[in-house]
């Protein structure tokens, strides 16, 4: 088996584990955002197990790549990835959303190793990541900065201020991935505030734009692992909210839905 095949197998195995473990956490806590967790799982798994440079024993290592989870409500996928990557033991996941837990509803870098920025109020992650990328550019560092946003989140104006800045400064060390599942809390993005034509918007701000299947690990690995260019890169990842569980897929209600015992059992049967 080639190194690439081994990497893809590792990504696939971790993505499955992350979906199953995250849904178990949401079921136990009866809190969470599993629909958005599942649309983003393949993206996050590809980053952590095929692309990012990091050392869980030294979370603040200067030359690490940075990952900012801007859609901060998707903690199920983030916490399981960090756990699987070795930042903390699986015992931590048992405390998800419990009183006093470090793993609360939005990530906090003061408590959770591997978290680069406190996120949750939407529209803040890309501006923070842009600042990190500017610092790297000034320092002459070769670290890269990746930020994952929700598509509904792109309706926040602060994203476009950051996009304009990043394009102007030609931040080739910055990649934004848009989790384009076309659903946000309550209804579709296009019914709320239309984003299309989304690729052309990023292009107009001076970004290189690539569209991918956000559940195809091979496509994601090729695009996210590509060498930086001379412009910031926007990866529009077309995804399915609730991916992997039949009754959750493309259902806005699963933005923050929680499963009954029967639904949990069905999901575990399907996630194989």
| Residue percentage of the chain with pLDDT more than 90 | 98
User: What are the φ and ψ backbone dihedral angles of 179, each rounded to 5 degrees?
Assistant: -80, 90
| Predicted local distance difference test score (pLDDT) of residue 185 | 86
Q: What is the pLDDT of residues 71-126, one digit of tens each?
A: 999 999 999 999 999 999 999 999 999 999 999 999 999 999 999 999 988 999 99
Q: How far apart are CA 140 and CA 170, in angstroms?
A: 14
**H-helix or E-strand spanning residue 236:** strand 233-238
Contacts of 220 (CB under 8 A, 6+ apart): 42, 43, 46, 50, 212, 214, 237
Whether the predicted pLDDT of 2 surpasses 90: no
Q: What is the pLDDT of residues 159-207, one digit of tens each?
A: 999 999 999 999 999 999 999 999 998 899 999 999 999 999 999 999 9
DSSP 64-78: --EEEESSTT-HHHH
Q: Do the beta carbons of residue 255 and residue 33 sit within 8 Å?
A: yes
Closest CA to 48 of 89, 5, 22, 18: 18
Instruction: Determine the structural domain holding residue 73 and report its residue range.
Output: 3-270
Paired residues of 234 in beta bridges: 176, 209
Q: What is the pLDDT of residues 130-158, one digit of tens each?
A: 999 999 999 999 999 999 999 999 999 99
Closest CA to 128 of 168, 172, 174: 174
CATH number where 41 lies: 3.40.50.970
Whether the predicted pLDDT of 1 surpasses 80: no
Count of structural domains within the chain: 1
| Predicted local distance difference test score (pLDDT) of residue 216 | 98
Q: What is the pLDDT of residues 4-17, one digit of tens each?
A: 999 999 999 999 99
Give this prediction's pTM.
0.97
């Amino acid at each position: 088996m080639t190194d690439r095949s081994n990497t893809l197998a590792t990504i696939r195995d971790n993505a499955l584990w992350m979906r199953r473990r995250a849904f178990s956490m949401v079921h136990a806590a009866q809190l969470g955002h599993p629909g958005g967790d599942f649309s983003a799982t393949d993206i996050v798994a590809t980053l952590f197990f095929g692309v990012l440079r990091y050392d869980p024993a030294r979370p603040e290592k200067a030359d690490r790549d940075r990952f900012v989870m801007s859609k901060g409500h998707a903690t199920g996928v983030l916490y399981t990835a960090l756990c699987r990557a070795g930042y903390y033991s699986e015992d931590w996941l048992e405390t998800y959303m419990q009183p006093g837990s470090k793993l609360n509803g939005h990530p906090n870098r003061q408590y959770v190793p591997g978290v680069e920025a406190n996120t949750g109020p939407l529209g803040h992650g890309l501006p923070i990541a842009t600042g990190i990328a500017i610092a790297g550019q000034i320092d002459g560092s070769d670290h890269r900065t990746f930020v994952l946003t929700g598509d509904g989140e792109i309706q926040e104006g602060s994203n476009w201020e950051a996009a304009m800045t990043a394009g102007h400064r030609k931040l080739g060390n910055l990649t934004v991935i848009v989790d384009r599942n076309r659903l946000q809390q309550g209804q579709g993005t296009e019914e709320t505030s239309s984003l299309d034509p989304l690729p052309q918007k990023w292009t107009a701000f001076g970004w290189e734009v690539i569209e991918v299947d956000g559940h195809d690990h091979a496509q994601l690995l090729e695009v996210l692992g590509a060498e930086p260019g001379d412009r910031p890169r926007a990866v529009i990842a077309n995804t399915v909210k609730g991916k992997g569980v039949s009754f959750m897929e493309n259902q806005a209600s699963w933005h923050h839905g929680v499963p009954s015992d029967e639904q949990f059992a069905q999901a575990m049967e399907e996630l194989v």
